Amino acid sequence: MHRNVLNLTAYTVLGSNESEHDYHIKTETAVPRMVCSNCRSREVVGYGRVEVLVHDLPMHGKRVGIYIDARRFKCKSCGKTFMEHLPEVNANRWMTERLVKWIGKRSMTNTFTGIAEEIGVTEGTIRNVFSDYVNELERTVRFETPKWMGIDEIHIIQKPRAVISNLYNNTAVNLLPNRNKKTIATYLSNLKDRDSVQYVAMDMWRPYREAVNEVIPDAKIVVDKFHVVRMANVAMESVRKSLRADLSPKQRRGLMHDRFVLLRRQSQLTDQESFNLDGWTKNYPLLGEAYRLKEEFFNIYQASSKQQAQMLYEQWLKSIPAELRGHYEPIITAWSNWQPFILEYFNHPITNAYTESLNSLIRVLNRLGRGYSFEALRAKILFSRGSHKIVQNRPKFERQLDDYDRSSMAMFSLSTSFQVKEEAKNYGVDIDKLVAMIERGEI
Ligand SMILES: [Zn+2]
């Protein structure tokens, strides 16, 4: 085998053999560094050899093991014995540095087990290398702290996780392994300039609220409108289902068929749908009442102030017929527990505009996610560079020059244009872009 086959200039290839799956390559350092690792003295003498196995990049589809015939030395100054320094080897992993880098990148697109087989190491080793790689990315890729933050739930790999988003820029900035208070609080505490967070939009999940109150007490909490109004649809469904028992099988099928009409806003119904809806509500007044309650609950969000919204809510509450009250208990409880935060929306109408995008993300991840750990999927979502929303600050405004000025100033503008180089800001992951990249198989 050619002595440069490894393309590692610090090593001389002494010999090699190959089997069906592997290359075994025997080497030694080309120029040993003869310095005591303990006291830096150069007064050292040979003290035998030791063979060290180091894994390297796969070659021609085969796994590569480099057997370094490493020298041992004894120091004449301090008396310690030691092994020579092995350049380009990651001594924590017994891998070449280039293999460590390769595994990190490859973990973004392949499963740990797949990579472990390619290299000939355990899955645990791949997991550790990957975790170092992700820590390095966390240090180098920094997203801007959202001024308007969203906290949402996303269900991936069997568990609900918290997605942190930037509502102003419509991007995701983090994905946390769970929705516990401690997890959220730790995330918030580690944010650079966390006091710049002005608003946090969330669903009605108490640990989010407690974490925000504790760590960034000046940030205003706003319950996401979507999570409030959808409770009216849930109540509508609950009423519809409770009426089923009184219906003939034919009517039951009809109501099942028209259930989407009941969930649609009145203003969006076609003539045919309006006609169907009238049929149901005339024959079943309670269904009509439930439809009215749903519509009026949605209409609370047309209020122009929080006082007006609270007034509309109280009118709505009084108008619930006693027979239907049970179906609306969840809304009544939520309103009483979250009232100031629900009403905060009317001061700051912020909401998460990318719920649909998150749903497509969940869909593609569930297809792609088999075999990945949460950490690997998280890294894929957050650190696939092509999906980042990066904004280069515009250079200073410059007065436009006329032709005469232009020729005399040419040298000057050329030199200034090189000086105006401002730092780019990274606002996080554009979810739609990310979904498209996953669908094209790019990540
Ligand atoms: Zn020494």
pLDDT in tens, 283-331: 899 999 999 999 999 999 999 999 999 999 999 999 999 999 999 999 9
Which burial class, exposed, middle or buried, applies to 336 when counting CB atoms under 10 A from its CB (0-12, 13-18, 19+)?
Answer: exposed
- 275/271 Cα distance (integer angstroms): 6
Tell whether the model's pLDDT for residue 418 goes beyond 50.
Answer: no
Percent with pLDDT over 70 in the chain: 92
* Distance from residue 45's CA to the centre of ligand 1 (Å): 11
Q: pLDDT class for 158, splitting at 50, 70, 90?
A: confident
The CB density around residue 165, as the number of other CB atoms within 10 Å, is 27
Does residue 156 have a pLDDT over 90?
no
pLDDT of residue 380: 85
Give 411's pLDDT tier (boundaries 50, 70, 90): very low
* Band of pLDDT at residue 424, cut at 50, 70 and 90: confident
How far away, in angstroms, is 91 Cα from ligand 1 center?
Answer: 20
Q: Among the residues of 34-169, which ranges form H helices? A: 97-106, 112-119, 123-140
DSSP-derived pairing of the beta strands 171-176 and 148-156: unpaired
Which of helix, strand or coil describes residue 162?
A: strand
Long-range contacts of 280-285 (CB under 8 A, 24+ apart): 280/255, 284/243
| Cα 22 to Cα 19, 98, 106, distances in angstroms | 5, 18, 20
| One-letter amino acid for residue 58 of the chain | P
Helix axes 123-140, 374-383, angle to 10 degrees: 30
Give the distance (Å) from ligand 1 centre to CA of residue 39.
4
Handedness of CA 78, 84, 87, 91 (dihedral sign): negative
Q: Is the pLDDT confidence value at 419 over 50? A: no
Neighbours of 161 (CB within 10 A): 19
Note the pLDDT of residue 310: 98
More confident: 250 or 180: 180
For residue 70, report the distance from its CA to the centre of ligand 1, in Å. Answer: 18
Q: Tens digit of pLDDT for each residue in 160-177?
A: 999 999 999 889 999 999
Number of Cβ within 10 Å of residue 338's Cβ equals 20
For residue 76, name the pLDDT band (cuts at 50, 70, 90). very high
Q: What is the DSSP letter of 6?
A: T
The reported pLDDT for the residue numbered 401 is 53
Q: How far is the CA of 69 from the centre of ligand 1 (A)?
A: 22
Per residue in 301-333, is it b (16+ CB within 10 Å) or e — as a string?
eebeebeebbebbeebeeebeeebeebbeebee
Residue 129 has pLDDT above 80, yes or no: yes
Q: Which is it for strands 171-176 and 388-392: parallel, antiparallel or unpaired? A: unpaired
Chain mean pLDDT for the chain: 89
Residue 4 has pLDDT above 90, yes or no: no
Residue 80 Cα, ligand 1 centroid: separation in angstroms? 6
pLDDT value at residue 208:
97
Alpha carbon distances (Å) from 364 to 85, 358, 372, 430: 46, 10, 13, 15
Neighbours of ion ligand 1 (CB under 5 A): 36, 38-39, 41, 75, 77-78
Distance CA 276, CA 443 (A): 47
Give the distance (Å) from ligand 1 centre to CA of residue 77: 5
Please check the confidence at residue 49 and state whether its pLDDT lies above 60: yes
Specify which residues 18 forms β-bridges with. 23
